[in-house]
Amino acid sequence: MVVVMSPDATAEDVAHVVEKVEGVGGEAFVSKGVVRTIIGLVGDLESFHHLNLRTLKGVADVHRISDPYKLVSRQHHADRSTVWVGKEGKRVPIGPDTFTFLAGPCAVESAEQTLEAARMAQSAGATILRGGAYKPRTSPYAFQGLGVKGLEILADVSAATGLPVVTEVVDARDVPVVAEHADMLQIGTRNMANFGLLQAAGDAGKPVLLKRGMTATIEEWLMAAEYIAQRGNLDVVLCERGIRTFEPATRNTLDVSAVPVVQATSHLPIIIDPSHAAGRKDLVVPLSRAGIAVGADGVIVDVHPDPETALCDGPQALLGADLRELAQAVRRLPEAVGRAQAHDFVGRG
């Protein structure tokens, strides 16, 4: 931590800062510049936070130097992690050596539609099924999901196809029932900073797919992962799904740079979601290719047997020729960037 004094700070102001820092057992290194004095702090960060150094007289600014997250950092866990999803003996890996394809309908609407979408996903190469039973919607008048009935459909389709299931949970009170039916809990973009939900998910004993808040910095996102990890659950997969920018041509801007940035600083796996980022079907295939090439550990997309009748996000769901093109990219491109296919490792974790 570095304390920057203002140009008109006095020697007493500097001494007061040093005294405070030493009072909590830290060390303070003073560098007097021509215009300003800076003070480098060495010691326990948490105790420095409690000093409220920014409120002290003569202090212009305080810069944090280290990362605020610990359990999800590569600092003490240099090797990147693999998270295994699914029932024992059939677990699917998401991690640094493989490429994992996740697909399914945005919302579970019926047993037939879900099964059909799962079959589409599976023939396109997907090894994990996605599908929403609880839908957080901007409008209280929009379809809010089938709830427990949707979870039962997902469990049935999972049994029928052998695909593990990831599904969103939007309320801490629903965590137990979702964890009972699904293989992985998804925390959506709007709930990334819903700390009670993060903690409940951390307690649930299942891997968690944590989407980036559409307006969260990478650091805030990793702090959200830290909330889950702090409950003893390190099986967290991050999902970049687009950030809010000034550009109106796409619903959000897929931040592919987040993939190597996260991989440099955290050991957690990271995948991308091009469907929700773009909100446009015609961008899903090129953005999926970009995600694979930038080094993502997986890609998750919306598929639907009949987008015209979809109750949620129909315009971004793939089918037909688009899905075949994506299947081809998913089959070929990972190898070109040095990755094996996750389906070749199913059941090994």
* Residues in region 16-55 near its own copies by CB under 8 A: 27, 29-36, 38, 40-43, 46, 49-52, 54-55
Q: Smallest gap, in angstroms, from Cβ of residue 120 to its own copies? A: 16
Q: Which stretch, 96-104, 160-168, 179-187, 285-293, contacts its own copies (CB under 8 A)?
A: 285-293
Q: How far apart are CA 178 and CA 185, in angstroms?
A: 7
**The dihedral formed by the CA atoms of 116, 106, 92 and 174, expressed in degrees to the nearest 10:** -120
Our CB check for its own copies shows the closer of 156 and 171 to be: 171
Q: Which of 113, 122, 194, 266 binds its own copies (CB under 8 A)?
A: 194
**Interstrand relation of 208-211 and 236-240 (parallel, antiparallel or unpaired):** parallel
Residue 172 makes contact with its own copies by CB under 8 A: yes
Return the CA Rg of the chain: 23
Q: How far apart are CA 234 and CA 208, in angstroms?
A: 9
Q: Which stretch, 91-99, 114-122, 123-131, 194-202, contacts its own copies (CB under 8 A)?
A: 194-202
Q: Which stretch, 81-89, 97-105, 158-166, 248-256, contacts its own copies (CB under 8 A)?
A: 248-256
Q: How far apart are CA 272 and CA 87, in angstroms?
A: 24
Residue 230 makes contact with its own copies by CB under 8 A: yes
Our CB check for its own copies shows the closer of 5 and 85 to be: 5
Q: How far apart are CA 178 and CA 169, in angstroms?
A: 7
Q: Smallest gap, in angstroms, from Cβ of residue 23 to its own copies? A: 12
Q: Which of 90, 119, 190, 331 binds its own copies (CB under 8 A)?
A: 190
Our CB check for its own copies shows the closer of 156 and 325 to be: 325
Q: Which stretch, 83-91, 111-119, 121-129, 212-220, contacts its own copies (CB under 8 A)?
A: 212-220
Q: Smallest gap, in angstroms, from Cβ of residue 293 to its own copies? A: 3
Our CB check for its own copies shows the closer of 10 and 87 to be: 10
Total residues at interface with its own copies (CB under 8 A): 101
Nearest to 191 by CA among 213, 216, 162: 213
Residue 75 makes contact with its own copies by CB under 8 A: yes
Footprint (CB under 8 A) of its own copies, residues 298-327 = 307-311, 314-315, 317
Q: Which of 23, 176, 196, 347 binds its own copies (CB under 8 A)?
A: 196
Residue 349 makes contact with its own copies by CB under 8 A: no
Q: Which of 117, 218, 239, 346 binds its own copies (CB under 8 A)?
A: 218
HEC string for the chain: CEEEECCCCCHHHHHHHHHHHHHCCCEEEEEECCCCEEEEEECCHHHHHCCCHHHCCCEEEEECCCCCCCCCECCCCCCCCCEEECCCCCCEEECCCEEEEEEECCECCCHHHHHHHHHHHHHCCCCEEECECCCCCCCCCCCCCCCHHHHHHHHHHHHHHCCCEEEECCCHHHHHHHHHHCCEEEECHHHCCCHHHHHHHHCCCCCEEEECCCCCCHHHHHHHHHHHHCCCCCCEEEEECCECCCCCCCCCECCCCHHHHHHHHECCCEEECHHHHHCCHHHHHHHHHHHHHHCCCEEEEEECCCHHHCCCCHHHCECHHHHHHHHHHHHHHHHHCCCEEHHHHCCCC
Q: Which of 159, 160, 337, 340 binds its own copies (CB under 8 A)?
A: 337
Residue 287 makes contact with its own copies by CB under 8 A: yes
Our CB check for its own copies shows the closer of 237 and 278 to be: 278
Footprint (CB under 8 A) of its own copies, residues 76-115 = none
Q: Which of 282, 340, 347, 348 binds its own copies (CB under 8 A)?
A: 282
Q: Which of 66, 87, 176, 347 binds its own copies (CB under 8 A)?
A: 66
Footprint (CB under 8 A) of its own copies, residues 123-162 = 136-142
